[in-house]
């Protein structure tokens, strides 16, 4: 029987080989240019590591931290040498998974260790900025969960610190390493769906977002997502992923304004953050992102829908639809040419003959294996969503010292947009992207 470890390694090498092959196919250079963070993440560069291992510490050993630990245990070129948490039950649970790792309750003491190359930060959002800045200052490579920080000023401080360091910095936007997103965006950039005319993103759950609290004084520590002092609510926890995907589809362009409404509709339990949000982000060319999230109904699940004048991509499901599926020979020729270019390394599936849920539209699979579909229900993570691959890439970068292009910038933009969305909802007005938070990477 094939082990879980072997399965993960085969997935890892499959995507790495796909990335390598992009350079050798027609249009491959241009396609790889749309995913520049993958240029240092190849089969050849992985083989150069030989038996070297990155010595990593995990700061924050709650549910997401332990999710990362499970993935990290299956990556051959890293070892977990330290764990840190000031909530002892979580630290003990993580120690069971990593019995040889040294434990800390003070992250600053951990950063003093010369036996640690890099840190993986999976703490509440209000701790992201101080921990990232302290870790970079201590000479450590850093992987931090999304979103980048709790405030726009903190985001700017991290961005500026990164410009001055030779350390590697990653943020947990795992869709950047998810094969169906990579291929789906390449299809969009290749013109298969025509011009982007709109985007619709949503994330629905039916869960109060609460965790059990053994003692009342631990409420804000354990349920940090529910309070503005430590959380950006639905936008930073969920929307950051989806807004980044929209900008990626738009060729890394950034919306110029946002307006929206946020309310506590159902979970009236003392929380401060909204349980229902509706926003409209507008690009300079008039294209808009309609974003909606609520956590009291799960019917619609999660989706990132990119609308083109020739077709639609549902990236979370790994499907696309064509407006004129049986139209002119020219359309069919275009489809064939793009499939040949984009999928020569790993052939795309043919039509997926599922029950017709889109009327006359036929769903086609973006990738052959759609096992990595994320329903949006999990509060921790999903299998095959790119989380293991981004950690593998980070560990590789800790060894080589090679910075991945644009990951910091993508996280910065996505986080600022989430925070502007929260501001628009709080002030009940249209907010324009402030000049003081613009960076050279941005295109409007």
343-363 burial string, b = 16+ CB within 10 Å, else e?
Answer: bbbbebeeeeeeeeeeeebbb
Please list the alpha-helical segments (H only) found in 343-406.
387-400
Specify the pLDDT at position 106: 98
What values do phi and psi take at 78, rounded to 5? -145, 160
Question: Would you state the pLDDT for residue 41?
Answer: 79
**pLDDT class for 328, splitting at 50, 70, 90?**
very low
End-to-end CA distance of the chain: 52
Residue 22 has pLDDT above 50, yes or no: yes
State the Cα–Cα distance between residues 274 and 267, nearest whole angstrom.
Answer: 9
> How far is 75 from 8, CA to CA, in rounded Å?
9
Q: Tell me what pLDDT residue 204 has.
A: 97
Q: How confident is the model at residue 386 (pLDDT cuts 50, 70, 90)?
A: confident
Residues 146 and 129: beta-carbon distance below 8 Å: no
Please write the tens of the pLDDT for every residue from 46-101.
777 878 999 999 999 999 999 999 999 999 999 999 999 999 999 999 999 999 99
The residue-averaged pLDDT of 183-199 equals 94
Is it the case that residue 374 has pLDDT exceeding 70? no
In the prediction, which pLDDT does 50 show?
76
- Please tell me the chain's helix, strand, coil percentages from 3-state DSSP, rounded to the nearest 5: 40, 20, 40
The helix or strand, by DSSP H or E, that contains position 426, with its residue range, turns out to be helix 407-427
What percentage of the chain has pLDDT greater than the value 90?
Answer: 73
How far apart CA 121 and CA 364 sit, in angstroms, is 37
- Pick from 276, 304, 302: nearest CA to 290: 304
Please give the model's pTM, rounded to 2 decimal places: 0.88
d(CA 173, CA 242): 10
Tens digits of residue pLDDT in 246-302: 999 999 899 999 999 999 999 999 999 999 999 999 999 999 999 999 999 999 999
pLDDT of residue 345: 39
Enumerate the H helices of 223-328 as residue ranges. Answer: 233-234, 240-249
- What's the confidence (pLDDT) of residue 38? 86
pLDDT in tens, 202-229: 999 999 999 999 999 999 999 999 999 9
Q: Determine the pLDDT at residue 44.
A: 75
Digit-coded pLDDT (tens) for 332-354: 555 555 555 554 433 333 333 33
Q: What mean pLDDT comes out for the span 388-416?
A: 95
- Per-domain residue ranges for the chain? 4-22+34-175, 179-381+403-437
How would DSSP label each residue in 113-166?
Answer: -TT--EEEE-S-GGGHHHHHHHHHHTT-EEEE-SSS-SSHHHHHHHHHHHHT--
- pLDDT reported for residue 191: 92
| DSSP SS3 for 261 | strand
Please tell me the least confidently modeled range out of 137-151, 170-184, 214-228, 264-278.
170-184
CB neighbours (10 Å) of residue 108? 13
Q: DSSP labels for 187-244?
A: HHHHTTT-SEEEEEEEEE-BS------SSGGGHHHHTGGGSTTT--HHIIIIIHHHHH
- The CATH homologous superfamily to which domain 179-381+403-437 belongs is Dihydrodipicolinate Reductase; domain 2 (3.30.360.10)
CA dihedral 82, 88, 90, 96 (to 10 degrees): 60
**Rounded to an integer, what is the distance from CA 99 to the centroid of its chain?**
29
Residue 259's pLDDT is 98
Q: What is the mean pLDDT of residues 188-205?
A: 96
The helix (run of H) or strand (run of E) holding residue 58 is: strand 54-59
What does the alpha-carbon distance between residue 345 and residue 362 come to, in Å, rounded to a whole number? 24
Q: Look at residue 45 in the predicted model and tell me its pLDDT.
A: 78
Nearest residue to 323 via CA among 315, 337, 313, 336: 313
Superfamily of domain 4-22+34-175, CATH level 4: NAD(P)-binding Rossmann-like Domain (3.40.50.720)
pLDDT band with cut points at 50, 70 and 90 for residue 14: low
């Amino acid at each position: 029987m094939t082990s879980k470890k072997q399965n993960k390694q085969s997935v890892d090498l499959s995507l790495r080989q796909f990335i390598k092959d992009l350079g050798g196919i027609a249009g491959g250079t241009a396609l790889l240019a749309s995913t520049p963070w993958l240029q240092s993440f190849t089969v050849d560069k992985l083989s150069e590591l030989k038996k070297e291992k990155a010595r990593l510490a995990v700061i924050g050993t709650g549910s997401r931290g332990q999710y990362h630990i499970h993935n990290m245990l299956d990556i051959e070129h890293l070892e977990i040498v330290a764990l840190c948490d000031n909530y002892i039950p979580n630290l003990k649970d993580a120690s069971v998974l990593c019995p040889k790792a040294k434990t800390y309750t003070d992250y600053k003491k951990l950063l003093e260790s010369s036996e640690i190359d890099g840190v993986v930060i999976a703490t509440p959002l209000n701790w992201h900025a101080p921990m990232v800045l302290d870790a970079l200052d201590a000479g450590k490579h850093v992987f931090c969960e999304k979103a980048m920080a709790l405030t726009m000023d903190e985001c700017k401080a991290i961005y500026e610190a990164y410009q001055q360091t030779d350390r590697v910095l990653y943020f947990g936007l795992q869709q950047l390493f998810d094969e169906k997103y990579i291929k789906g965006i390449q299809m969009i950039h290749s013109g298969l769906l025509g011009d982007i005319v709109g985007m619709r993103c949503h994330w629905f759950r039916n869960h109060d977002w609460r965790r059990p609290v053994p003692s009342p004084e631990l409420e804000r520590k354990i349920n940090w997502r529910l309070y503005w002092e430590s959380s950006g609510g639905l936008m930073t926890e969920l929307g950051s992923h989806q807004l980044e995907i929209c900008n990626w589809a738009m060729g890394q362009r950034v919306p110029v304004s946002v307006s929206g409404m946020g309310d506590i509709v159902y979970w009236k339990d003392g929380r401060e953050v909204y349980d229902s949000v509706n926003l409209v982000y507008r690009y300079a060319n008039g294209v808009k992102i309609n974003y909606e999230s609520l956590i009291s109904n799960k019917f619609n699940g999660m989706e990132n829908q990119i609308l083109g004048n020739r077709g639609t991509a549902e990236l979370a499901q790994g499907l696309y639809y064509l407006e004129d599926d049986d139209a002119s020979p020219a359309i069919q020729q275009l489809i064939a040419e793009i499939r040949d270019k984009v999928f020569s390394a790993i052939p795309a599936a043919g039509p997926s003959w599922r029950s017709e849920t889109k009327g006359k539209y036929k769903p086609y699979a973006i990738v052959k294996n759609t096992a990595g579909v994320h329903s949006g229900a999990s509060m921790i993570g999903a299998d095959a969503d790119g989380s293991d691959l981004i950690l593998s890439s980070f560990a590789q970068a800790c060894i080589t010292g090679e910075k991945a292009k644009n990951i910091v910038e993508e996280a910065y933009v996505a986080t600022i947009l989430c925070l502007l969305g929260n501001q628009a909802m709080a002030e009940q007005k249209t907010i324009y992207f402030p000049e003081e938070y613009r960076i050279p990477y941005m295109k409007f």
